Amino acid sequence: MIQITPLEKKQQKKLVTIWSITFLTLFPILITLGLLMRLNQGEEINLKANTFYALMTLHGLGMAGVLFSIAFAALWYLISTRYARLRVGVGYFVYFLILIGVVALTIATLIGKFGPGWYLLYPLPFIGTSWKPWSTGLSIISIIILGIAWLIGMLHLLYALAKAYGGITHLLGWQYLGKKEVQQDLPPIVLISTISLVPGVMAFLAGAVMLILYLLQYFEPSLTFDPLLLKNLTFFFGHTLVNITLYCGVGWVYALLPEFTGREWKTNKVVVYSWNATFFFILFAYFHHLYMDFVQPMPLHYAGQIASYLSAIPATAITMFGVIAQLYHSKIKWSVIPLMFLLGTAGWAIGGFAAVVDSTIAINKVLHNTLWVPAHFHTYMLMGIVLFIFAFLFYISSENKGYSTDIKTKLGFWIFVIGAYGFLTMFYLGGLNSVPRRYSDYKGIPIQSTHQTGVLLSQIAVVFIIVLLAGLLLMYISLFSKLLKKEDTVEMPVQA
């Protein structure tokens, strides 16, 4: 633990509050884009195909970017106020750079109708496009700006942690594996931040190479690159980004849940082994996105399946065990914050299980590019990381003001959970019924039953999305009233 002055804490709090308000503004807008897509797939509205794909691209890139940004900002706040000194000026620089990137991307998609999907699959953005050519250039530049911002932030954080804990091997917890006594305790959040951010830096560097090649091709259309190489770079970048977003959130579960249960959650050998397995295997798990690419060398497909299992299972198992050990027979006071941690861990495990199922080659042959894919990643994002983020937001808005156990917040939370799982179930059922993903509507599907199932499931999903939005509204009311509340009535979260 570091000692920081009240002024430094106030400055870091202001930064994280600005981040939180930005997130709370953008999140429902991005959900509304999802609602429009489901309305179109349910044949309730009629969007032009190029509008649908522009919305889908903004929704996908926007959600992934906004969630990673707030997850990183939350980590920044917790690290800077407890474990290592971070320069608030760097934090603001990163924030404004990200804002520029987001505005540019919004212009490219909503005005320029840029719509190849989040993964900009090469050579899609350059051949026979339905969008304005300038929007391709603007999107590439805006993603480069976002990447630079995140890289600066991640490197600053890693550097500060390495300085505070004696180097990168200490951050990875390797001192716990030897016979010598450990001199300085390594908080699990620091270990997990390292496990997230080091692969994050590698992934962002791969993303930078990919985007520079895209930019070269944009300025010199006669150039061509190997599509397989670019697909590998794209998915290494995208897959890792989504995974580490979740791990950032898991990090603060380890740090904050003990404040509610009154039990310590310390780093030990098993925690180090499990998270180091994730650290190593996460780098190779993305190969499961390329099973359909017959030109990819066969051993990489097998490596993809094995790495998918080995990167997901140890970290999930040890965390679930840890959460149960924290909660079992504890005298916890069930405010919405630990509830969100508990259900967030469940969402991570459920979505993760569905992902591991899909990463199994024999099953992927059937489920590939069906709605099963958005089903699993929406589960661990919406019911995993989003719940962790809201837990964090309630936590910081309640610091020194007492942790909310009010009924409105809990009601909003449960309505949100019901809406979200209803919405997700429709994706899963779509996948099991072979409804394809990324179809703007299902009118062109020649098999009548698949068409009808796709439409019906979308219509039911719309109802659940509205329920989810209603729950979100209730949580927002409670969150903002907390944020605006001034008095300091400190209340301990754990009953003595």
Binding-site ranges for ligand HEM (CB under 6 A): 31, 34-35, 37-38, 56-57, 59-60, 63-64, 67, 117-118, 374, 378, 381-382, 386, 423, 437-438, 465, 468
Nearest residue to 117 via CA among 238, 215, 230: 238
Which residue, 314 or 431, is less far from ligand HEM as judged by CB? 431
Which residue, 262 or 422, is less far from ligand HEM as judged by CB? 422
Cβ-proximal residue to ligand HEM, closest one: 34
Q: How far is the CB of 73 from ligand HEM (least distance, A)?
A: 16
Instruction: Give the long-range contacts of residues 372-375, CB within 8 A, separation 24 or more.
Output: 372/427, 372/428, 372/430, 372/431, 372/432, 373/431, 373/437, 374/427, 374/437, 375/424, 375/427, 375/428, 375/430, 375/431
Which residue, 142 or 261, is less far from ligand HEM as judged by CB? 142
Q: How far is the CB of 484 from ligand HEM (least distance, A)?
A: 26
Which residue, 403 or 442, is less far from ligand HEM as judged by CB? 442
Q: Residue 446 and residue 429: Cα distance in Å, rounded?
A: 19
Q: Residue 72 and residue 350: Cα distance in Å, rounded?
A: 23
Q: How far is the CB of 451 from ligand HEM (least distance, A)?
A: 14
Q: For residue 186, report the phi and psi dihedrals to the nearest 5 degrees.
A: -105, 110
Q: How far is the CB of 181 from ligand HEM (least distance, A)?
A: 42
Q: How far is the CB of 239 from ligand HEM (least distance, A)?
A: 11
Residue 210 CB-half CA count within 13 A:
26
Which residue, 173 or 374, is less far from ligand HEM as judged by CB? 374
235-259 exposure pattern, b = at least 16 Cβ within 10 A, e = fewer: bbbbbbbbbbbbbbbbbbbbbbbbe
Q: How far is the CB of 114 from ligand HEM (least distance, A)?
A: 12
Which residue, 52 or 394, is less far from ligand HEM as judged by CB? 52
Which residue, 57 or 232, is less far from ligand HEM as judged by CB? 57
Nearest residue to 188 via CA among 304, 123, 266: 266
Query: Would you tell me the crossing angle of helices 448-484 and 407-432 to the nearest 10 degrees?
Result: 160
Q: Residue 59 and residue 250: Cα distance in Å, rounded?
A: 24
CB 18 within 8 A of CB 95: yes
Q: How far is the CB of 222 from ligand HEM (least distance, A)?
A: 28
Which residue, 277 or 381, is less far from ligand HEM as judged by CB? 381
Q: Residue 278 and residue 285: Cα distance in Å, rounded?
A: 10
Q: How far is the CB of 369 from ligand HEM (least distance, A)?
A: 9
